[in-house]
Structure 1
Amino acid sequence: MTPTKAPTDSYFHLHLVSDATGETLITVGRAACAQYANVLAIEHVYPLVRTMKQLDRVLSEIESNPGIVLYTLVDNEIRGRLKERCRDLGVPYLSVMAPIVRLFQSYLGGEPTPRIGGQHSLDAVYFKRIDALNFTVMHDDGQMTEDLENADVVLLGVSRTSKTPTSIYLANRGIKTANIPLVPNVPLPSNIETLRKPLVVGLVASPERIVEIRQNRLLGLNAADTGTSYTDRQAVSEEIAFSRRLCARNGWPLIDVTRRSIEETAATILALFNERRRQQLAET
């Protein structure tokens, strides 16, 4: 459909209509919105829309707040009703999956078998991800270090280098991840330098960034900065220097997360992990 004239305000309404969880739409919608730094998207997310009654409530909301409509709907009748009403209202709409499914169909041939929320099936991949999440939670922040050899990835880093959120992100990809904090005057687990199976990765950031995050954390906890080494720039610099020396001595890859998002850091780790796995398979 030919889109209507763009609004002149600095925001617009983005309607995400799905018969499943809506995660695909949210990801795609936000990725597109990120290309427009000066415009704010007001998200309206409608998951599990599987009946006409549910759709009517969605359509009422779209009518009250016109904007872009993205959808993933399997049911032909519900999908047709949404498209018809969007045309009547003059709002732009798009099936996010349709162009991709058409490409698959042209290459693979035959008709697809539509399944609501098919990517969330309770299959082996799903249970592998749950297993990875359980492992990662139990091995967060230096816990249960006696069985680190069972991890896929072990993250090392000083406080505030995003070890835990990066670990959880990797676990969602099915990667069993443990993370170990590097704390001054606290010895590392005795087995850390003899690990064979896991990929060990160090995370660092600039001293300025670490100090800023730590100060903000103290403020959030209503804790006074008593001048301890936790937020002292020189002390933080020494912590980071130690982590760099440790990784260099053991040949562990080191990632500077100063200007990286969690997703970018995790993507780099996944690339290292997959390359290491390919090398291991080639050697067998």
Structure 2
Amino acid sequence: MRRQLGSDAGLTARMFLTMFLLAAVYLFFLAVLWQAGVSYTGIILFVGIMLAVQYYFSDRMVLWSMGAREVSPAEAPELHALVERLAALADLPKPRVAIVPTSMPNAFATGRSPKHAVVAVTTGIMQRLTTAELEAVLGHELSHIKNRDMTVLTLASFFATVASFIMQHFFYWGGAFGGRDREGRNNAMVVYLASLVVWVISFFLIRALSRYREFAADRGAAILTGSPGQLASALVKISGSMARIPDRDLRQAEAFNAFFIIPALSGNSLMELLSTHPSLERRLAYLRKLEREMEDWR
């Protein structure tokens, strides 16, 4: 039986507002470029190609970077069975399955679309979680696939990447911003400052959007498995285990925090405002709220 993932009106509204603010920031950025007479076609084309490569080959790049290996049903029958069952409930094509040989307990999903998706789990998470908890984690990752989060975040970050590119290559691209006379230098400075403002604002907005997508995936997992408590238990176990993982392993994995179900942080945790994920406390509170709602549904 297929299960509808449902929706959270408040969460949907916050995601919509964040996307609206991002669009407003990007329109402002384009207006500044236009007024400054910037020949930005080449920049946008270059960044577009760069993001397209990332988008279309993200699954291969992430798996390769993490040292993940795709496994067949014969190699991991229980894991494949869980993924297949959840995919059927979510009305998704069964994604490819991979295992990462590391003691760090985590899981992630990547791929440009449901038909080109892959779900990966670490050996550490399989050793630490019960079958029900692992199923809840896989439900979270399949919800990311269902919600097309890779596509959403790639599109949301497009002009932020353009702004970052301009800042990093300001002097090289200076000639494209109006020439070497005084007016041209003024235009160049306006474009640089606008790029800086756009990058800073979009950084926080994209982080907020990423956190909202995590809440949505938690909701999807709770409804797919019918047990928010199992996901809450898994999150507590994963988070607690991170403290025992060597700093070197955490630093190596930090670049992929946006993909993980729990970010790999070395040293002190970052402020939630800067994080791609909500705090553990907020996620547990949200899951408790979902559990109460699901009891009312029954």
* TM-score of Structure 1 vs Structure 2, range by shorter chain: under 0.3
* Bigger strand fraction: 1
Tell me which structure has the larger Cα radius of gyration. 1
TM-score, normalized by length of structure 2?
0.22
* Bigger helix fraction: 2
TM-score, normalized by length of structure 1?
0.23
Higher relative contact order (CA 8 A, sep 6+): 2
